[in-house]
Amino acid sequence: MTEPRLRIAVQKSGRLADRSGELISGAGLRIIKGANELLYRIENQPIDLLRVRDDDIPTFVADGVAELGIVGYNVLAEHFPDRDLESMIVQRLGFGSCTLKVAVPNDVDYTGPQWLEGKRIATSYPNILGKWLKDHGVTAEIVEMRGAVEVAPRMKIAHAICDLVSTGATLEANGMKATDLVLKSEAVLIKAPHAPAPELAHTYDMLLRRFDGVTASTG
């Protein structure tokens, strides 16, 4: 019989990949980059890294395919708009920080959420935006886009956008300005709803302690 192994779902490549790898290495796990790009083994612990698109991480963890996962809070919130996210989150990780904001062309005299009434807003986060609009009593049309949201107003696809912002350089380059804050985000460590197999409980507890230690020391 093969020994059971814990799985941590991580972004394969992208903005969170390097820092996720550093957290894992910082916790003393030695990653072996195997021929299987989807699954990297940890040499010194019964743990594997499941390397996937970040959008798949919430589902994999919620379904118990992986016991733990590292993902942006924005992706988690979009994926599970109706769930109690705090019960899934083990800890906030202090990297991958960004904000989801409403942005409008520079020449718009934005007066607050009510300005959006009856307008079209392009976003990759329709669930989060939909909730925010509802909370503010605004009825607007949401245009879902997978990428290049910042070009939507110029292309006359939308009057405004709701997108992630970190430095603001992308908005500036596209003649737009950020307005209302919709969501603050950073990478979070999430856990499956069920406890790990009893043989893995010790490894699991050790891992959570170490992640906590690494995050505390790197601020």
Tell me the closest approach of the beta carbon of residue 54 to Zn ion, in angstroms: 4
Runs of H (alpha helix) within 136-200: 169-173
Q: Residue 58, interface with ligand PRT (CB under 6 A)?
A: no
59 binds, among ligand PRT, Zn ion, none (CB under 5 to 8 A by kind): none
- Interacting positions 168-187 with ligand PRT (CB under 6 A): 168-170, 185
163 binds, among Zn ion, ligand PRT, none (CB under 5 to 8 A by kind): ligand PRT
Give the nearer residue to Zn ion in terms of CB position, either 55 or 212.
55
The answer to whether the CB of 142 falls within 8 A of the CB of 190 is no
21 binds, among Zn ion, ligand PRT, none (CB under 5 to 8 A by kind): none
Q: Residue 61, interface with ligand PRT (CB under 6 A)?
A: no
Residues 6+ apart with CB under 8 A from 195: 201
CA distance 200 to 189: 18
SS (H, E, C) 64-101: CCCCEEEEEHHHHHHHCCCCCHHHCEEEECCCCCEEEE
Of the candidates 111, 116, 99, 113, the one whose C-alpha atom is nearest the C-alpha of residue 153 is: 116
Residues in the chain: 219
CA distance 92 to 193: 18
Give the nearer residue to Zn ion in terms of CB position, either 15 or 210.
15
Q: Residue 1, interface with ligand PRT (CB under 6 A)?
A: no
Tell me the closest approach of the beta carbon of residue 58 to ligand PRT, in angstroms: 11
- Residues in contact with ligand PRT by CB under 6 A are 11, 14-16, 53-55, 72, 74-75, 96, 98, 163-170, 185
Interface contacts to Zn ion, rule CB under 5 A: 54-55
